[in-house]
A and B are shown apart, each in its own frame.
Chain A
Amino acid sequence: MPDAIPSTEAYLMLSGTLFAVGLVGVIIRRNMITVLMAVELMMNAVNINLVAFSHRFASLEGQAFTIFIITVAAGEAAVGLAIIIQLYRLKSTINVDDARSLNG
Protein backbone atom coordinates (compact mmCIF):
# COMPACT_ATOMS: atom_id res chain seq x y z
CA MET A 1 0.00 0.00 0.00
CA PRO A 2 2.31 2.77 -1.16
CA ASP A 3 -0.27 5.54 -1.14
CA ALA A 4 -1.59 5.17 2.42
CA ILE A 5 -1.24 8.76 3.48
CA PRO A 6 -2.73 9.89 6.81
CA SER A 7 -6.48 10.36 6.77
CA THR A 8 -8.35 13.63 7.02
CA GLU A 9 -9.45 12.72 10.55
CA ALA A 10 -5.85 12.40 11.72
CA TYR A 11 -5.12 15.89 10.38
CA LEU A 12 -8.24 17.29 12.03
CA MET A 13 -7.27 15.80 15.38
CA LEU A 14 -3.75 17.21 15.14
CA SER A 15 -5.09 20.62 14.17
CA GLY A 16 -7.61 20.53 17.03
CA THR A 17 -4.85 19.74 19.49
CA LEU A 18 -2.68 22.59 18.20
CA PHE A 19 -5.64 24.97 18.33
CA ALA A 20 -6.45 24.02 21.92
CA VAL A 21 -2.82 24.45 22.97
CA GLY A 22 -2.73 27.87 21.29
CA LEU A 23 -5.97 28.88 23.00
CA VAL A 24 -4.60 27.87 26.39
CA GLY A 25 -1.47 29.91 25.66
CA VAL A 26 -3.49 32.98 24.71
CA ILE A 27 -5.49 32.80 27.93
CA ILE A 28 -2.96 31.82 30.57
CA ARG A 29 0.24 33.62 29.61
CA ARG A 30 1.05 37.11 30.86
CA ASN A 31 3.90 37.84 28.46
CA MET A 32 2.39 39.59 25.45
CA ILE A 33 4.97 38.23 23.01
CA THR A 34 4.14 34.68 24.02
CA VAL A 35 0.44 35.45 23.63
CA LEU A 36 1.11 36.61 20.07
CA MET A 37 3.06 33.40 19.40
CA ALA A 38 0.08 31.38 20.66
CA VAL A 39 -2.17 33.28 18.25
CA GLU A 40 0.17 32.28 15.40
CA LEU A 41 -0.12 28.69 16.61
CA MET A 42 -3.92 28.85 16.36
CA MET A 43 -3.74 30.29 12.84
CA ASN A 44 -1.44 27.43 11.86
CA ALA A 45 -3.96 24.92 13.19
CA VAL A 46 -6.62 26.48 10.96
CA ASN A 47 -4.24 26.24 8.00
CA ILE A 48 -3.77 22.51 8.64
CA ASN A 49 -7.54 22.05 8.49
CA LEU A 50 -7.83 23.96 5.23
CA VAL A 51 -5.03 22.01 3.57
CA ALA A 52 -6.44 18.68 4.75
CA PHE A 53 -9.88 19.46 3.32
CA SER A 54 -8.34 20.86 0.16
CA HIS A 55 -6.77 17.43 -0.36
CA ARG A 56 -9.96 15.63 0.62
CA PHE A 57 -12.13 17.50 -1.87
CA ALA A 58 -9.37 17.70 -4.51
CA SER A 59 -9.74 21.46 -4.83
CA LEU A 60 -7.24 24.29 -4.69
CA GLU A 61 -9.56 26.63 -2.80
CA GLY A 62 -8.33 25.56 0.61
CA GLN A 63 -4.72 26.15 -0.34
CA ALA A 64 -5.52 29.58 -1.79
CA PHE A 65 -7.21 30.58 1.46
CA THR A 66 -4.22 29.25 3.38
CA ILE A 67 -2.02 31.68 1.46
CA PHE A 68 -4.32 34.55 2.42
CA ILE A 69 -4.35 33.46 6.07
CA ILE A 70 -0.54 33.43 6.07
CA THR A 71 -0.61 36.97 4.63
CA VAL A 72 -2.98 38.15 7.35
CA ALA A 73 -0.85 36.43 10.01
CA ALA A 74 2.23 38.30 8.78
CA GLY A 75 0.45 41.66 8.94
CA GLU A 76 -1.02 40.86 12.32
CA ALA A 77 2.39 39.90 13.73
CA ALA A 78 3.98 43.11 12.42
CA VAL A 79 1.31 45.42 13.85
CA GLY A 80 1.03 43.45 17.10
CA LEU A 81 4.77 43.57 17.71
CA ALA A 82 4.80 47.31 16.97
CA ILE A 83 2.07 47.75 19.58
CA ILE A 84 4.09 45.67 22.06
CA ILE A 85 7.19 47.83 21.48
CA GLN A 86 5.16 51.00 21.99
CA LEU A 87 3.58 49.57 25.15
CA TYR A 88 7.02 48.75 26.50
CA ARG A 89 8.19 52.29 25.79
CA LEU A 90 5.21 53.80 27.57
CA LYS A 91 4.81 51.42 30.51
CA SER A 92 8.13 49.54 30.71
CA THR A 93 6.21 46.28 30.82
CA ILE A 94 4.78 43.78 28.38
CA ASN A 95 2.51 41.98 30.80
CA VAL A 96 -1.02 41.68 29.55
CA ASP A 97 -2.41 42.25 33.03
CA ASP A 98 -0.58 45.57 33.41
CA ALA A 99 -1.99 47.12 30.23
CA ARG A 100 -5.24 48.31 31.72
CA SER A 101 -5.35 52.04 31.03
CA LEU A 102 -8.65 51.65 29.20
CA ASN A 103 -10.14 49.81 32.15
CA GLY A 104 -11.93 52.91 33.46
Chain B
Amino acid sequence: MSPALLVFFLVGTVAVAASILVVAMRNPVHSALFLLVTFLCVAILFVMKGAEFVGAVQVLVYAGGIMVLFLFVVMLINVRHLPDERVLSNFWKGGLAVGLAVFILFFTIIRTGVYHDPVASDKALRSTYTYHHRKVQQPDGTVARKLFRRGKVVGNSEAMGMALYTDYLVPFEVASLFLLVAMIGAIVIGKRELSAIEEENVPAYMLERVKTEHEVKEGMSA
Protein backbone atom coordinates (compact mmCIF):
# COMPACT_ATOMS: atom_id res chain seq x y z
CA MET B 1 0.00 0.00 0.00
CA SER B 2 1.43 3.31 -1.06
CA PRO B 3 1.74 6.20 1.41
CA ALA B 4 -0.94 8.16 -0.41
CA LEU B 5 -3.46 5.35 -0.03
CA LEU B 6 -2.55 4.97 3.63
CA VAL B 7 -3.13 8.68 4.21
CA PHE B 8 -6.42 8.47 2.32
CA PHE B 9 -7.74 5.62 4.43
CA LEU B 10 -6.63 7.24 7.68
CA VAL B 11 -8.06 10.66 6.83
CA GLY B 12 -11.20 9.19 5.32
CA THR B 13 -11.86 7.09 8.42
CA VAL B 14 -11.40 10.11 10.65
CA ALA B 15 -13.70 12.17 8.42
CA VAL B 16 -16.49 9.58 8.45
CA ALA B 17 -16.17 8.97 12.20
CA ALA B 18 -16.23 12.71 12.94
CA SER B 19 -19.24 13.22 10.67
CA ILE B 20 -21.13 10.46 12.50
CA LEU B 21 -20.25 12.14 15.79
CA VAL B 22 -21.53 15.48 14.43
CA VAL B 23 -24.93 13.88 14.05
CA ALA B 24 -24.74 11.85 17.27
CA MET B 25 -23.53 14.42 19.81
CA ARG B 26 -26.10 15.94 22.17
CA ASN B 27 -24.28 19.21 22.71
CA PRO B 28 -24.17 21.50 19.63
CA VAL B 29 -20.71 22.76 20.65
CA HIS B 30 -19.34 19.21 20.41
CA SER B 31 -21.10 18.79 17.07
CA ALA B 32 -19.47 21.99 15.80
CA LEU B 33 -16.01 20.88 16.87
CA PHE B 34 -16.40 17.48 15.19
CA LEU B 35 -17.66 19.27 12.09
CA LEU B 36 -14.40 21.23 12.17
CA VAL B 37 -12.45 17.94 12.20
CA THR B 38 -14.47 16.73 9.20
CA PHE B 39 -13.80 19.94 7.25
CA LEU B 40 -10.06 19.74 7.87
CA CYS B 41 -9.97 16.08 6.79
CA VAL B 42 -11.89 16.95 3.61
CA ALA B 43 -9.39 19.75 2.95
CA ILE B 44 -6.57 17.17 3.08
CA LEU B 45 -8.51 14.99 0.62
CA PHE B 46 -8.89 17.97 -1.72
CA VAL B 47 -5.16 18.59 -1.69
CA MET B 48 -4.52 14.92 -2.48
CA LYS B 49 -6.59 15.29 -5.66
CA GLY B 50 -4.57 18.25 -6.87
CA ALA B 51 -7.03 20.91 -5.68
CA GLU B 52 -4.74 22.97 -3.47
CA PHE B 53 -6.67 26.20 -3.91
CA VAL B 54 -10.00 24.58 -3.04
CA GLY B 55 -8.37 22.97 -0.01
CA ALA B 56 -7.13 26.36 1.17
CA VAL B 57 -10.54 27.93 0.59
CA GLN B 58 -12.11 25.04 2.50
CA VAL B 59 -9.89 25.75 5.49
CA LEU B 60 -10.37 29.52 5.30
CA VAL B 61 -14.10 29.71 4.61
CA TYR B 62 -15.46 26.57 6.24
CA ALA B 63 -13.11 26.00 9.14
CA GLY B 64 -12.41 29.69 9.66
CA GLY B 65 -15.64 31.45 8.81
CA ILE B 66 -18.65 29.18 8.93
CA MET B 67 -17.53 27.31 12.05
CA VAL B 68 -16.98 30.56 13.92
CA LEU B 69 -20.48 31.62 12.87
CA PHE B 70 -21.94 28.36 14.16
CA LEU B 71 -20.09 28.61 17.47
CA PHE B 72 -21.18 32.24 17.83
CA VAL B 73 -24.82 31.31 17.44
CA VAL B 74 -24.52 28.30 19.76
CA MET B 75 -23.02 30.55 22.44
CA LEU B 76 -25.49 33.36 21.72
CA ILE B 77 -28.71 31.44 22.18
CA ASN B 78 -27.33 29.17 24.88
CA VAL B 79 -30.01 26.49 24.96
CA ARG B 80 -29.79 24.35 28.05
CA HIS B 81 -30.67 20.76 27.36
CA LEU B 82 -32.06 18.71 30.17
CA PRO B 83 -30.21 15.40 30.53
CA ASP B 84 -33.28 13.33 29.72
CA GLU B 85 -34.53 15.53 26.90
CA ARG B 86 -35.18 13.94 23.54
CA VAL B 87 -32.70 15.02 20.88
CA LEU B 88 -34.11 12.86 18.11
CA SER B 89 -37.15 13.70 16.07
CA ASN B 90 -40.33 11.65 16.22
CA PHE B 91 -39.58 9.88 12.97
CA TRP B 92 -35.95 9.01 13.65
CA LYS B 93 -36.53 5.42 12.56
CA GLY B 94 -37.70 6.61 9.15
CA GLY B 95 -34.70 8.92 8.94
CA LEU B 96 -32.28 6.09 9.63
CA ALA B 97 -34.06 3.95 7.03
CA VAL B 98 -33.81 6.72 4.41
CA GLY B 99 -30.12 7.24 5.21
CA LEU B 100 -29.42 3.52 4.93
CA ALA B 101 -31.32 3.35 1.65
CA VAL B 102 -29.35 6.26 0.18
CA PHE B 103 -26.11 4.71 1.42
CA ILE B 104 -26.92 1.37 -0.26
CA LEU B 105 -28.04 3.22 -3.40
CA PHE B 106 -24.71 5.03 -3.67
CA PHE B 107 -22.74 1.87 -3.14
CA THR B 108 -24.66 0.02 -5.82
CA ILE B 109 -24.28 2.90 -8.27
CA ILE B 110 -20.52 3.19 -7.77
CA ARG B 111 -19.03 0.25 -9.61
CA THR B 112 -15.32 -0.17 -9.25
CA GLY B 113 -13.24 -0.15 -12.38
CA VAL B 114 -15.68 1.88 -14.46
CA TYR B 115 -13.87 5.19 -14.29
CA HIS B 116 -10.52 3.94 -15.63
CA ASP B 117 -8.29 6.26 -13.71
CA PRO B 118 -5.56 7.46 -16.02
CA VAL B 119 -1.99 7.70 -14.91
CA ALA B 120 -2.04 10.17 -12.08
CA SER B 121 -1.04 13.49 -13.56
CA ASP B 122 -2.61 16.70 -12.37
CA LYS B 123 -0.69 18.81 -14.87
CA ALA B 124 -3.94 20.06 -16.40
CA LEU B 125 -5.08 21.26 -12.99
CA ARG B 126 -1.95 23.35 -12.67
CA SER B 127 -1.76 24.89 -16.12
CA THR B 128 -3.27 27.98 -17.58
CA TYR B 129 -2.65 29.95 -20.73
CA THR B 130 -1.54 33.37 -21.76
CA TYR B 131 -2.34 35.38 -24.87
CA HIS B 132 0.31 36.98 -26.97
CA HIS B 133 0.57 38.68 -30.36
CA ARG B 134 2.69 37.31 -33.10
CA LYS B 135 3.45 38.69 -36.55
CA VAL B 136 2.13 36.41 -39.25
CA GLN B 137 3.03 36.54 -42.91
CA GLN B 138 -0.21 36.68 -44.87
CA PRO B 139 -0.55 34.94 -48.25
CA ASP B 140 -0.68 38.32 -50.04
CA GLY B 141 2.66 39.34 -48.58
CA THR B 142 1.46 41.70 -45.85
CA VAL B 143 2.33 41.14 -42.21
CA ALA B 144 -0.54 40.97 -39.70
CA ARG B 145 -0.55 40.74 -35.92
CA LYS B 146 -2.54 37.77 -34.68
CA LEU B 147 -3.51 36.67 -31.21
CA PHE B 148 -2.20 33.30 -30.07
CA ARG B 149 -2.83 31.26 -26.97
CA ARG B 150 0.06 29.62 -25.23
CA GLY B 151 -0.28 27.01 -22.53
CA LYS B 152 1.75 27.49 -19.39
CA VAL B 153 2.27 25.30 -16.34
CA VAL B 154 1.92 27.33 -13.16
CA GLY B 155 0.34 26.41 -9.84
CA ASN B 156 -3.17 25.33 -9.03
CA SER B 157 -3.97 28.65 -7.38
CA GLU B 158 -2.89 30.68 -10.40
CA ALA B 159 -4.74 28.37 -12.75
CA MET B 160 -7.88 28.65 -10.63
CA GLY B 161 -7.58 32.43 -10.50
CA MET B 162 -7.21 32.56 -14.25
CA ALA B 163 -10.24 30.30 -14.71
CA LEU B 164 -12.37 32.29 -12.27
CA TYR B 165 -11.54 35.63 -13.88
CA THR B 166 -11.89 34.51 -17.51
CA ASP B 167 -14.15 31.51 -18.13
CA TYR B 168 -16.22 31.96 -14.96
CA LEU B 169 -16.31 35.73 -14.73
CA VAL B 170 -20.10 36.06 -14.89
CA PRO B 171 -20.78 33.33 -12.27
CA PHE B 172 -18.08 34.93 -10.14
CA GLU B 173 -19.82 38.31 -10.24
CA VAL B 174 -23.18 36.66 -9.58
CA ALA B 175 -21.61 34.94 -6.56
CA SER B 176 -20.41 38.29 -5.22
CA LEU B 177 -23.90 39.71 -5.67
CA PHE B 178 -25.30 36.63 -3.94
CA LEU B 179 -23.01 37.20 -0.98
CA LEU B 180 -24.13 40.83 -0.76
CA VAL B 181 -27.79 39.78 -0.79
CA ALA B 182 -27.12 37.07 1.81
CA MET B 183 -25.35 39.58 4.05
CA ILE B 184 -28.18 42.11 3.83
CA GLY B 185 -30.74 39.36 4.37
CA ALA B 186 -28.93 38.01 7.42
CA ILE B 187 -28.72 41.51 8.93
CA VAL B 188 -32.39 42.27 8.25
CA ILE B 189 -33.59 38.91 9.55
CA GLY B 190 -31.36 38.92 12.61
CA LYS B 191 -32.16 42.52 13.59
CA ARG B 192 -34.04 42.93 16.84
CA GLU B 193 -37.39 44.62 16.46
CA LEU B 194 -37.95 47.10 19.25
CA SER B 195 -41.61 47.41 18.27
CA ALA B 196 -42.11 43.74 19.20
CA ILE B 197 -42.63 44.89 22.76
CA GLU B 198 -46.24 45.74 21.92
CA GLU B 199 -46.98 42.27 20.63
CA GLU B 200 -48.10 39.37 22.70
CA ASN B 201 -46.02 36.39 23.71
CA VAL B 202 -42.80 38.33 24.02
CA PRO B 203 -40.24 36.34 26.01
CA ALA B 204 -39.35 37.84 29.36
CA TYR B 205 -35.66 38.18 28.60
CA MET B 206 -36.47 40.32 25.59
CA LEU B 207 -38.65 42.73 27.57
CA GLU B 208 -35.81 43.08 30.02
CA ARG B 209 -33.29 43.74 27.29
CA VAL B 210 -35.49 46.38 25.66
CA LYS B 211 -36.03 48.01 29.04
CA THR B 212 -32.31 48.21 29.80
CA GLU B 213 -31.73 49.54 26.30
CA HIS B 214 -34.19 52.37 26.93
CA GLU B 215 -32.60 53.07 30.28
CA VAL B 216 -29.17 53.27 28.71
CA LYS B 217 -30.48 55.64 26.04
CA GLU B 218 -32.12 57.88 28.64
CA GLY B 219 -28.97 57.86 30.72
CA MET B 220 -26.94 58.94 27.73
CA SER B 221 -29.29 61.76 26.74
CA ALA B 222 -29.63 63.03 30.31
User: Which A residues fall within an 8 A CB radius of B?
Assistant: 1-14, 16-25, 27-31, 33-34, 36-38, 40-41, 44, 47-48, 51-52, 54-56, 58-60, 63-64, 66-68, 70-79, 81-86, 88-90, 92-94, 96-97
**Known interface pairs A27-B89, A30-B88; A79-B23 also in contact (CB < 8 Å):** no
Q: Which residues of A contact B182 (CB under 8 A)?
A: 74-76, 78-79
Chain A at the B interface: mostly helix, strand, loop or mixed?
Answer: helix
CB nearest to B78 among chain A residues: A88
The 6 closest A-B pairs by CB, nearest first: A27-B95, A16-B106, A75-B182, A24-B99, A25-B23, A58-B124
Interface residue B50 (Cβ < 8 Å from any Cβ of A): yes
> Is the beta-carbon distance between A78 and B186 smaller than 8 angstroms?
yes
Interface residue B122 (Cβ < 8 Å from any Cβ of A): yes
Bound: A16/B12 CA distance, A:
12
Bound: A36/B72 CA distance, A:
14
User: Which B residues fall within an 8 A CB radius of A?
Assistant: 2, 4-5, 8, 12, 15-16, 19-20, 22-23, 25, 28, 31-32, 35, 38-39, 42, 45-46, 48-51, 53-54, 57-58, 61-62, 65-66, 69-70, 73-74, 76-77, 79, 86-92, 94-96, 98-100, 102-103, 106-107, 110-115, 117-125, 156, 159-160, 163-164, 167-168, 171, 175, 178-179, 181-183, 185-187, 189-190, 192, 201, 203, 206
Would you list 12 pairs from A and B whose C-beta atoms are within 8 A, ordered by A residue? A6-B8, A11-B45, A28-B88, A29-B89, A37-B28, A41-B38, A51-B45, A55-B125, A68-B175, A77-B66, A79-B185, A79-B186
> Is the beta-carbon distance between B110 and A13 smaller than 8 angstroms?
yes
Chain B at the A interface: mostly helix, strand, loop or mixed?
Answer: helix
Shortest CB–CB separation between residue A38 and chain B, in angstroms? 6
**Known interface pairs A22-B19, A41-B38, A89-B203; A36-B171 also in contact (CB < 8 Å):** no
Q: Which residues of A contact B4 (CB under 8 A)?
A: 3-6
**Known interface pairs A4-B4, A8-B117, A94-B79; A34-B110 also in contact (CB < 8 Å):** no
> Is the beta-carbon distance between A7 and B110 smaller than 8 angstroms?
no
CB nearest to A16 among chain B residues: B106
> Is the beta-carbon distance between B189 and A73 smaller than 8 angstroms?
no
Q: Which residues of A contact B186 (CB under 8 A)?
A: 78-79, 81-82
**Known interface pairs A33-B70, A51-B49; A89-B5 also in contact (CB < 8 Å):** no
Bound: A71/B61 CA distance, A:
8
